[in-house]
Structure 1
């Protein structure tokens, strides 16, 4: 049986989207915190999401593969979330000299973490921090969540630092499974890598199979 081509680059022109989002801030010297910029971001993302879903549906009609369709929808959402994070961190809540605590990794978990997304499924996200939450982190998470909700998406989310993830995973099998299925999306990859390394060393090797 021939392998089905996912044709992911046909779902969304991410460079064009990012350029259009940045253009929303030209008149304000790069500041995207105003209502007009937010409305523009929402309109752009909604248009790309609708168009990408239509393309994925057409591809499904062509190849009949539900698995490929789920992978395409996951990729489409990946790109939307990445562009949204970068806009929030660069144009809305930019920190010129970030502290070591003002870092974040956006991580996909659950079914979304496995790189598949059925139509109407929850978008499960972990906002991973190095230490305790900061005002910057709260603002980034809040901005992203409200945009995603305004796009009509069902978003499951948690905001935790690495120590919290490890502590909770020792007693909560759901959280432990979510870390096993976690997939890095964007932000500070070193945080994600540290989580996996410490999870393997401090949880998996010390608790054994359930």
Structure 2
């Protein structure tokens, strides 16, 4: 049986071949699902996971950022959270090595954090950059209710009290970025990521919808 990382590499090559042939209209989502399969298969085969006492201290692997939004670009960082309901156990480091290290060895850029639920909420309440990252959280494997608990507690303990403050922070952040990168109109090489009307503005609208209307999906 092939290893999860080998399966991922082969499927990515197939995906790229289809893309070159203009036969892959939903490249980002498909690439995302390949990574999802890697994490779930690695988790299912884990030798460390079963020894960590999931019933006493539930944990989950959660996608964040563009990966959480199912918009994983080919060379972008893979943002992942290893979340524990209680204190982080010593075995967590071995689980990280087992699941994340093969991705680094294969040349992928992986940005991960290992945190307890309490730590996540504390960081998000003091740093809105962390809050925006967690806003895009999407469950991958482990205990799904833990991801739901994270989203619900962020809403009840942070957004319910500080939604206006968060929205004002988003506004000021966008205005500062627009000042730095300017308007993209009539530019031969506009900054489609940071410039006015670019990708970051789209992300800001998603976060605004999440904070004000509890909307997570663009189609909503």
TM-score, with structure 1 as normaliser: 0.71
Give 3-state SS (helix, strand or coil) of 2:50's partner.
coil
The RMSD of aligned alpha carbons is 2.0
CA shift in 2, pair 1:93/1:107, >3 Å: closer
> How many residues are treated as equivalent by the alignment?
165
1:95 to 29, 46, 51: 51
Mean Cα deviation higher: 108-117 or 52-61:
52-61
Establish whether residue 130 from structure 1 lines up as the match of residue 85 from structure 2. Answer: yes
Cα shift at 1:100:
1.1
Establish whether residue 49 from structure 1 lines up as the match of residue 5 from structure 2. Answer: no
CA shift in 2, pair 1:108/1:98, >3 Å: closer
Any unmatched runs of 5+ in structure 1? 1-19, 22-43
What are the Cα deviations for residues 41-90 of structure 1, in whole angstroms up to 9, with x where unaligned? xxx33432222112212332344666x111111110110111112211xx
Tell me the equivalent position of 2:27: 69
Give 3-state SS (helix, strand or coil) of 1:170's partner.
helix
Tell me the equivalent position of 2:150: 195
Q: Name the CA distance, whole Å, in 2 between partners of 1:152 and 1:96.
A: 28
Give 3-state SS (helix, strand or coil) of 1:81's partner.
helix
Cα shift at 1:116:
1.4
Establish whether residue 160 from structure 1 lines up as the match of residue 115 from structure 2. Answer: yes
Cα shift at 1:98:
5.0
Give 3-state SS (helix, strand or coil) of 2:75's partner.
coil
What are the Cα deviations for residues 179-206 of structure 1, in whole angstroms up to 9, with x where unaligned? 1111111111111111111111001101
Cα shift at 1:94:
2.8
Cα shift at 1:135:
2.0
Any unmatched runs of 5+ in structure 2? 167-220
Q: Name the CA distance, whole Å, in 2 between partners of 1:93 and 1:157.
A: 17
Q: Name the CA distance, whole Å, in 2 between partners of 1:65 and 1:145.
A: 27
CA shift in 2, pair 1:93/1:195, >3 Å: closer
Contact 2:59 2:83 in 1 (8 A): yes
